[in-house]
Structure 1
Amino acid sequence: MAKQYEFVPYLLNARERQLTRAGQLIHLQPKAFDVLLYLLEHAGNLVGKQEVLDAVWKDRFVTENSLTVCIRQIRIALEDNVDAPQYIETIPVSGYRFIAEVTSLDSDAVTAAKEQEAVSRGQGRSVTSIRLMIVVTLIAALVLALAYFTYDEFATQPAQDELLVQASKSVEEAVEIERWERSIAVLPFVNMSEDPGNEYFSDGLSEEILNLLARIPKLKVIGRTSSFAFKDKNEDLRMIGQTLGVETLLEGSVRKSGDRVRITAQLIDVSNGAQMWSESYDRTMTDIFAVQDDVAAAIIDALQIHVSANPTRGRPTENPEAYALFLKARVAANAFDWRDAEALLSKAIELDPYFAEAYEMLSFVYWIIPGETSVIESQRLMSETAAKAIALDPDLVLAQTYYHQANPDPYMRLRTIEAFERAARERPDDPRILEGFTFLLTEFGYLQEAVTYAERYVELDPLSELANYHWPLTLYAVGRTKDAVAALEFANQSDWDPHFVRRAIEGVNLVENRDETAIAHLESWLKQHDYPDPTWFRELVTGARDPATGQAYLDRRIPEIVAAMAEVDEFDWHNGLTSLYLYFGYLDRYYELVLATEPVDTTWHPAGAHLWRSAIFRRLGSTAHPKYLEFAELMGIIHIWDQRGPPDFCEKVGGEWVCE
């Protein structure tokens, strides 16, 4: 018979699958609920990890990481401390024990007693009515809780424990729940205006519609990078659909003249090239947001997608000129013209000081351009503009992630990953969120989760260079070397700038003894960007390969190479070339150089990229190195493990972290 389990102040109802505290519903993902239920059923007893895996996942194969994620979720929901537990005790290596006092109740009897009490009071309500009132009350409580969080998060600087309650669900379960039923790619609309300068508007409108469609549950919407790869190319629509892995395409045209806009759109079935829907809209600029809503509603209807409510664009600004500047800034940002984007957004904000999305995009711009200005100044500007965006519109999830990335406090990295978890829960198909969260999960050691997000990222944006960098790197981090090397094909053919992700790709090539691939690619890039004498990288790799003299060779040559670079590039190249000590196994020197940069946990620091590399290349012994934990503590990562749960390769033994 179904049971209720009471462990003060919590009550778990197994039949209703609800966990409550003082009558307030606490959200748990299905698998986390099942794990908690199993622990309660065996309260006071040690339950082995494999025992729980067999009971909860049954015949499905999963790793212990899935159980670890669930335990972390339960601890967060119960506000339990891993170091001084009140509810769940971890028995190192063996498993877990539920240590609080548990009272088992007959849920049927409890429910019947409550219903009889209601009847005896003569309230005249049916059992169904009572249950309906309970549901309505719970919904109202959740709405109030959300409103409180929105205010408390940004108006009163919440306590750390309050932030932890917002931690999100398991990535594995999120992806299971959010698998798509239909798929679409939005191709860039053609500018049919007499003025070629209006192309920003057709591109911007296409991206606006794409972002709106991406909010439709069960609909896979290909990211902008991949969809816009076919701009100005007269390709067969069926070939485009097959390349992007979608069943439908949305294409159209825009003709803008003064304040008047004519938009034509059509939905194409990739399988046969047939038109599924088409419509033309003649509107003024003040109606442009309503057009986006109309297109989204028509797509939902044509694809027969069942939604509780159609997504709406809303009106981000009442100023058409400010909106035009916003779209121009987006085009500039997509073209990596960050200073132009900054100027356009600043002008848009001058015209409309309440334009929250303009502040949000400006915050992102400040995140990207610290190399062109003071890092401290960029961090300050990013924090300020994100805070303004949130104050104007608390629902801007990207602004929330930007704020926590830039707000200097001792828990900034913990709050950042929590903000990305919330964002991923609310916008699971946004490539920008997937990219950021994948990087953070890798950097902090949650590698299995990172693989899941990286896979979703590359599915949604299959032609994105960044997605196709993260995918092989996360595969490599979890030991799927064969898959990682196969996935490297796209990255090795790319001519993208060799920033920290690019250098990690070269690292995989070097560690796997694919020297010629790494050398050829970097030499090609150096030639394209007019660097003198691109042969130095071959000499560097050859010299570093000798285990007897390689470290001394790098000690001598790297400073010489960096000194020959333009002054503006010196720091970037020195930071990047330091990773060669890792790739060739000179770990003592690697950590000596990294720690010499004095990493801190309250400001942006280039050492973050080295922490990320250390996790990816842990097969070289980087995370087992004694200096790794010192490095992680300086960067505030150990605090994340204490609160969020252990990374894939570390365990707390006797109160101390041990990594392998």
Structure 2
Amino acid sequence: MEEFPANPLRIGDWCINPAAGQISRAGEIVRIEARAMRLLLCLAARAGQVELLNHVWAGVIVTPDSVYQAVTSLRRLLGDDARQPSYIATVPRLGYRMVAAVSDWVDPAADAVVELSPGLADRSIPASGEPSGSVTIEAKTQPSSRKKTVVIFAVTILAALMLAVAYLLLKRAPSELSSGTSTSATESAQSIGVLPFLDLTEEMDQEYFADGMTEELIDMLSKIPGLRVPARTSSFYFKGKQITIAEIAKTLGVAYVLEGSVRKSGKTLRVTAQLIRAENGYHVWSNTYDRSLDDILMVQDDIAMEVKKALLASLQSAAHPSTATAPNSAAYAAYFQARALRHGNRSRAQAQAIVDYLHQATRLDPAYAPAWAELARALVYQSTNQLVAADTIAAEAHEAASRALLLDPKLADAQLALGIVYAYLDWDWTAAEREYRNVLALEPGNAEVLALLSDIRRSLGNVEEALGLMQQAAALDPLDARYQQWLGEMNYSLGRLTAAESHLRKALDINPEQPVYALLAEVKLAASNTALALELLQHETDARARSAGLALVYFVLGRRAEADAELVALENRGASDVAFAIARIHAYRQEIDQAFVWLDRAESQRDPECSDIKNDPLLQNLRSDSRYKLLLQKMKLPE
């Protein structure tokens, strides 16, 4: 496959930056997915010539429609008109050609004198934007069998450098404010969004490494006091979307955006990163790192030493660095593979694959604390999703979390994992809350921990406090539909039906596939709008949630045979993983004995929904029964 230039190009009015995976014009910056960039570079390389695009889709069978759609999408990004093209012209029956002028990009501001604010000047960063302490390193050749793990070490390089950049950002913010630079209320000057790093390798097979790098940067930057960093879900919401940097920053409510890319060609790895001031598109900092795949392991210590020189001691203490040593490279690769599978909908096979990867990581490097912490979480996930019985993995989950904390007492992920084990396997709410609050002391901007702490307070019956904590989580991660769903659930339990509906519809705005239609139907049922409740259930994609909802609505409508049929179907196919949902239907129907049979089953299965037993509106008919109090005692919940 042809290798396209990595240096910026000028195409018409646009600056094309292949390494960063973006195009820009007059301060407007647009991220562009890898295949669209390849298409653009392919046309530019043959400007004026007819191109059949076989270089873009080499080895892939495509139809004329798919080519047409790709070109149409590219024209839309460039602001081009197919009828009067300024960039891409159609050659009937032959293909397409680039008609805009193409040349090397020359930055018009390259010769301008850049005046640094005091905060930047104090850190001795050259006007060129290259951090002091950068170094070109050569080393002896190593066996190429290590290629697959090479991208991992770029994480260490970039994470440390980004911490330095973030420190500069924090130092710079006061001077910007005092000099009159405007910052909106929603875009704090001390805020940064980390966008998913792009995989620009020829084979496009390093995505999980690029994603892992992004997660590491978000995690490390979020540990800096005073710096607001939107969480992973909000950052990854923009993955693959054609949207400008300014729009992304406005949505996330941040003043700065960090983005980058990973490119592998032959035996060379190129990692590019840049920090952008969103309001004007100014590149505050950028750098490119070229390393030999064979040499990368040998030069790791040298790179770490150079990075260390760039960091102040105060920054190191503020970031709560791990006390663990660098992991075995193969263990780190397995850990990254597991992390890549963690997000999104996980099948039974994927959930087991995560555990297998983490078992491999802990075998390869028993001293690597993050892998033990991740293993504990993966085991709990298997239990809460009824993929394995809780009692079969409880001991191993405890051991993994405890091992992580023993290896690295300052590792927030280890404390978080232990809290999750306490909450979902032991019903030990006090111990879980203690661990979550320890994590918040280290990472006050951790949206996930705020959401988990909210769940604890909600389980204990403190719904108002839980609501406030979840609102904080949603503010930190505004594009995570789950937080809006949980806000909807809590408002529903408090009888605030309008607010509940508002949050649930917002969840659907963020993610149209979010399974909240059944809950929305319950809200409408509580508002006596049975017809709309029935209509909403037709949109529910979760078959069991739809059956549960229909069982309720049909019962209210007096269609008893249909209600019974839905309930029986749910009991037949959901006994192992929706016992709590079945119990609440029986409770609503005032079938008290059956409700307690299913609640006992849900408790023994450690069904996570069971933790809302004190607040669920459908369980109202059970609360005067002595068995209800016994169940609370079994779950270690106050009466």
Gaps of 5+ in 2: 1-186
Structure 1 residues 463 and 247, CA gap change in structure 2 (3 angstroms): same
Find the aligned partners of 2:308 and 2:274 in 1 and give their Cα distance: 12
What's the TM-score once normalised by structure 1's chain length? 0.58
Q: Mean alpha-carbon deviation: is it higher for 277-286 or for 617-626?
A: 617-626
Find the aligned partners of 1:329 and 1:525 in 2 and give their Cα distance: 30
**342, 348, 351: which is aligned to 2:355?**
342
Q: Would the aligned equivalents of 1:213 and 1:296 in 2 still touch at CA under 8 Å?
A: no
Find the aligned partners of 1:332 and 1:377 in 2 and give their Cα distance: 23
Find the aligned partners of 2:287 and 2:401 in 1 and give their Cα distance: 37
Q: Give the aligned partner of residue 404 of structure 2.
A: 389
Q: Give the aligned partner of residue 458 of structure 1.
A: 474
Secondary structure of the 1:220 match is coil
Q: CA deviation at 1:300?
A: 11
**369, 373, 393: which is aligned to 1:378?**
393
Find the aligned partners of 2:599 and 2:585 in 1 and give their Cα distance: 16
Structure 1 residues 299 and 456, CA gap change in structure 2 (3 angstroms): farther
Q: Would the aligned equivalents of 1:349 and 1:358 in 2 still touch at CA under 8 Å?
A: yes
Q: Mean alpha-carbon deviation: is it higher for 231-240 or for 374-383?
A: 374-383
Identity of aligned residues (%): 24
Residue type of the alignment partner of 2:523? V
Q: Would the aligned equivalents of 1:345 and 1:362 in 2 still touch at CA under 8 Å?
A: yes
Secondary structure of the 1:373 match is coil
Q: Give the aligned partner of residue 617 of structure 1.
A: 617
Q: Give the aligned partner of residue 636 of structure 2.
A: 636
Secondary structure of the 1:380 match is helix
Q: Give the aligned partner of residue 340 of structure 2.
A: 331
Q: Would the aligned equivalents of 1:595 and 1:631 in 2 still touch at CA under 8 Å?
A: no
Q: CA deviation at 1:316?
A: 5.2
Q: Would the aligned equivalents of 1:281 and 1:291 in 2 still touch at CA under 8 Å?
A: no
2:448 maps to 1:439: no
1:235-634 paired onto structure 2 within 5 Å: 235-256=243-264, 261-282=269-290, 284-285=296-297, 309-310=318-319, 312=321, 317-335=326-344, 336=346, 337-370=350-383, 371-406=386-421, 412-492=428-508, 494=511, 496=513, 498=515, 504=519, 506-515=521-530, 518-526=533-541, 540-546=551-557, 556-562=564-570, 565=573, 569-581=574-586, 585-586=588-589, 588-589=590-591, 593-594=595-596, 597-598=599-600, 605-606=606-607, 609-612=609-612, 614-617=614-617, 628-634=628-634
Q: Give the aligned partner of residue 240 of structure 2.
A: 232
Q: CA deviation at 1:290?
A: 9.3
Q: Would the aligned equivalents of 2:195 and 2:259 in 1 still touch at CA under 8 Å?
A: yes
Q: Give the aligned partner of residue 214 of structure 2.
A: 206
Secondary structure of the 2:591 match is helix
Secondary structure of the 2:196 match is coil
Q: Would the aligned equivalents of 2:195 and 2:239 in 1 still touch at CA under 8 Å?
A: yes
Q: Would the aligned equivalents of 1:383 and 1:402 in 2 still touch at CA under 8 Å?
A: no
Q: CA offsets, 1:67-102, max 9 Å, x none?
A: xxxxxxxxxxxxxxxxxxxxxxxxxxxxxxxxxxxx
Q: Give the aligned partner of residue 105 of structure 1.
A: none
Q: Would the aligned equivalents of 2:554 and 2:563 in 1 still touch at CA under 8 Å?
A: no
Structure 1 residues 382 and 198, CA gap change in structure 2 (3 angstroms): same
Structure 1 residues 442 and 290, CA gap change in structure 2 (3 angstroms): farther
Residue type of the alignment partner of 1:341? I
Secondary structure of the 2:600 match is coil
Q: Would the aligned equivalents of 1:599 and 1:635 in 2 still touch at CA under 8 Å?
A: no
Secondary structure of the 2:449 match is helix
Find the aligned partners of 1:297 and 1:238 in 2 and give their Cα distance: 33
Residue type of the alignment partner of 1:268? I
Q: CA deviation at 1:249?
A: 0.9
Secondary structure of the 1:221 match is coil
Secondary structure of the 1:361 match is helix
Q: CA deviation at 1:449?
A: 1.7
Q: CA offsets, 1:533-553, max 9 Å, x none?
A: x9966753443215xx68x76
Residue type of the alignment partner of 2:478? P
Find the aligned partners of 1:299 and 1:231 in 2 and give their Cα distance: 30
Q: CA deviation at 1:472?
A: 2.2
Q: CA offsets, 1:341-385, max 9 Å, x none?
A: 212211112211111100111111111112222221132321221
Q: CA offsets, 1:595-614, max 9 Å, x none?
A: 6543798x7622x5244154
Secondary structure of the 1:247 match is strand
What's the TM-score once normalised by structure 2's chain length? 0.60
Find the aligned partners of 1:512 and 1:293 in 2 and give their Cα distance: 64
Q: Give the aligned partner of residue 85 of structure 1.
A: none
Find the aligned partners of 1:295 and 1:503 in 2 and give their Cα distance: 52
Secondary structure of the 2:538 match is helix
Q: Would the aligned equivalents of 2:224 and 2:319 in 1 still touch at CA under 8 Å?
A: yes
Structure 1 residues 535 and 459, CA gap change in structure 2 (3 angstroms): closer
Q: CA deviation at 1:222?
A: 0.8
Q: CA deviation at 1:513?
A: 3.8
Secondary structure of the 1:267 match is strand
Residue type of the alignment partner of 2:580? N
Structure 1 residues 292 and 231, CA gap change in structure 2 (3 angstroms): farther
Q: Give the aligned partner of residue 20 of structure 1.
A: none
Structure 1 residues 485 and 433, CA gap change in structure 2 (3 angstroms): same
Gaps of 5+ in 1: 1-178, 639-656
1:162-241 paired onto structure 2 within 5 Å: 182-241=190-249
Q: Would the aligned equivalents of 1:457 and 1:467 in 2 still touch at CA under 8 Å?
A: yes
Q: CA deviation at 1:279?
A: 2.1
Find the aligned partners of 1:523 and 1:633 in 2 and give their Cα distance: 38
Q: Would the aligned equivalents of 1:579 and 1:610 in 2 still touch at CA under 8 Å?
A: no
Q: CA deviation at 1:555?
A: 8.1
Q: Would the aligned equivalents of 1:338 and 1:369 in 2 still touch at CA under 8 Å?
A: yes
Q: CA deviation at 1:232?
A: 2.0
Secondary structure of the 2:285 match is strand
Q: CA deviation at 1:195?
A: 3.8
Q: CA deviation at 1:563?
A: 5.4
Q: Would the aligned equivalents of 2:489 and 2:500 in 1 still touch at CA under 8 Å?
A: yes
Structure 1 residues 389 and 611, CA gap change in structure 2 (3 angstroms): closer
Find the aligned partners of 1:368 and 1:410 in 2 and give their Cα distance: 14
Secondary structure of the 2:577 match is helix
Q: Would the aligned equivalents of 2:579 and 2:601 in 1 still touch at CA under 8 Å?
A: no
Structure 1 residues 350 and 429, CA gap change in structure 2 (3 angstroms): same
Q: Would the aligned equivalents of 2:335 and 2:358 in 1 still touch at CA under 8 Å?
A: yes
Residue type of the alignment partner of 2:474? V
Find the aligned partners of 1:287 and 1:508 in 2 and give their Cα distance: 59
Structure 1 residues 256 and 523, CA gap change in structure 2 (3 angstroms): same
Find the aligned partners of 1:314 and 1:517 in 2 and give their Cα distance: 56
Q: CA deviation at 1:570?
A: 3.6
Find the aligned partners of 1:341 and 1:482 in 2 and give their Cα distance: 40
Q: Give the aligned partner of residue 144 of structure 1.
A: none
